[in-house]
Amino acid sequence: MMDGMEDVLPSETNGTKSGRSDTVDLNDSTLQVDISDALSEREKVKFTVHTKTTLPDYAKPEFSVVRQHEEFIWLHDRFDENEDYAGYIIPPPPPRPDFDASREKLQKLGEGEGSMTKEEFSKMKQELEAEYLATFKKTVAMHEVFLTRLAQHTVFRNDHNFKVFLEYEQDLSVRTKNKKEKVEGLFKSFNKSTDEILLAATQKDVDDYFEREKTFLLEYHMAIKDATTKADKMTQAHKSVADSYIQLSSGLSQLGTIEGPRLEKFINKVADTFEKARKVEGRVSSDEDLKLSDTLRYYVRDGSAAKDLLYRRLRCLANYEQANKNLDRARAKNKDVHAPVDVADAELAQQNACEKFEHISNKAKEELNDLKARRVTAFKKNLIELAELELKHAKAQAQLLKSCLQSLPEE
Partner 1 sequence: MRLYLIVSASPSLCPGDNPQATHLPRAWAPLARPPPHGSRLTADLFSTNPGALKSPVSEQTTTPEDQRSPEDPLTPPPPAASLTPEPHNPGTPPDLFESVAEGPVVVQGGSPKLSSVPLDLPAGGNGGEGKQQEQEEPQGPVEAALSIEGEGEGDVTSSDLIPDPSSNPVPPPALLHDPPNFLGDTDTTEVSLDDGKTKAEGDGGDEFIQITVSDPQKIGDGMSSYMAYKVTTKTNVSYFRKKHWSVMRRFSDFLGLHRKLVEKHLHSGRVIPPAPEKSAIGTTKIKLGSDKNADSGSLDFIERRRAALERYMNRTSTHPTLRADPDFREFVELDAELPRATQTSALSSAGVLRLLNRVGETVNKMTFKMDESDQWFEERTQQIESLDAQLRKLHASMERLVNYRRELALSTAAFAKATAVLSSVEEHSSLSRALHQLSESTERTQTIHHAQADADFYVLSENTKDYIQLISAVKDVFHERVKTFQTWQHAQITLAKKREAKAKAELAGRMDKVQQAQEEVTEWEGKVERSQEEFERISRAIKKEMEQFDVMRVKDFRDMVIKYLEDLMTSQQQIIKVWETFIPEAKAIS
- If binding is defined by CB under 8 A, does position 113 make contact with partner 1? no
The backbone torsions φ and ψ at residue 128, rounded to the nearest 5 degrees and listed phi first, read -65, -40
Residues 235-254: x/- map of binding to partner 1 (CB under 8 A)? -xxx-xx--xx-xx--xx-x
- If binding is defined by CB under 8 A, does position 219 make contact with partner 1? yes
**Site for partner 1 (CB under 8 A): which residue of 234, 345, 359, 370?**
234
- If binding is defined by CB under 8 A, does position 411 make contact with partner 1? yes
Shorter beta-carbon distance to partner 1: residue 306 or 346: 306
**Site for partner 1 (CB under 8 A): which residue of 108, 233, 325, 333?**
233
Instruction: Kindly indicate which of the ranges 142-150, 197-205, 213-221, 330-338 contains the residues binding partner 1, using the contact rule CB under 8 A.
Output: 213-221
DSSP collapsed to 3 states, 327-369: HHHHHHHCCCCCCHHHHHHHHHHHHHHHHHHHHHHHHHHHHHH
Shorter beta-carbon distance to partner 1: residue 224 or 343: 224
The CA–CA distances, whole Å, from 104 to 100, 229, 317 equal: 6, 20, 48
Distance CA 341, CA 356 (A): 22
Torsion sign (Cα): 331, 333, 335, 338? negative
> Please, which of residues 342-401 interact with partner 1 by CB under 8 A?
372, 375-376, 379-380, 383-384, 386-388, 390-391, 394-395, 397-398, 401
Question: Rounded to 5 degrees, what angle do the CA atoms 107, 103, 46 make?
Answer: 145
Q: Shortest Cβ distance from residue 167 to partner 1 (Å)?
A: 40
Instruction: Kindly indicate which of the ranges 80-88, 194-202, 232-240, 363-371 contains the residues binding partner 1, using the contact rule CB under 8 A.
Output: 232-240
- What string of DSSP letters covers 154-188? TTGGG-HHHHHHHH--S----PPP-HHHHHHHHHH
**Site for partner 1 (CB under 8 A): which residue of 58, 132, 136, 266?**
266
Shorter beta-carbon distance to partner 1: residue 10 or 114: 114
What length does the chain have? 411
**Site for partner 1 (CB under 8 A): which residue of 220, 304, 318, 342?**
220
- In terms of Cα–Cα distance, which of 230, 327, 244 is closest to 288? 230
What number of chain residues touch partner 1 (CB under 8 A)?
57
**Site for partner 1 (CB under 8 A): which residue of 263, 321, 347, 366?**
263
- If binding is defined by CB under 8 A, does position 186 make contact with partner 1? no
**Site for partner 1 (CB under 8 A): which residue of 65, 231, 317, 371?**
231
DSSP letter at 244 equals H
- In terms of Cα–Cα distance, which of 60, 86, 118, 112 is closest to 2? 86
- What string of DSSP letters covers 82-120? -GGGTTSPPPPPPPPP--HHHHHHHHHHHHGGGGS-HHH
Torsion sign (Cα): 147, 151, 154, 156? positive
Shorter beta-carbon distance to partner 1: residue 300 or 317: 300
Question: Which parts of this chain interact with partner 1 (CB under 8 A)?
Answer: 216, 219-220, 223-224, 226-227, 229-231, 233-234, 236-238, 240-241, 244-245, 247-248, 251-252, 254-255, 258-260, 262-263, 266-267, 270, 273, 277, 372, 375-376, 379-380, 383-384, 386-388, 390-391, 394-395, 397-398, 401-402, 404-405, 408, 411
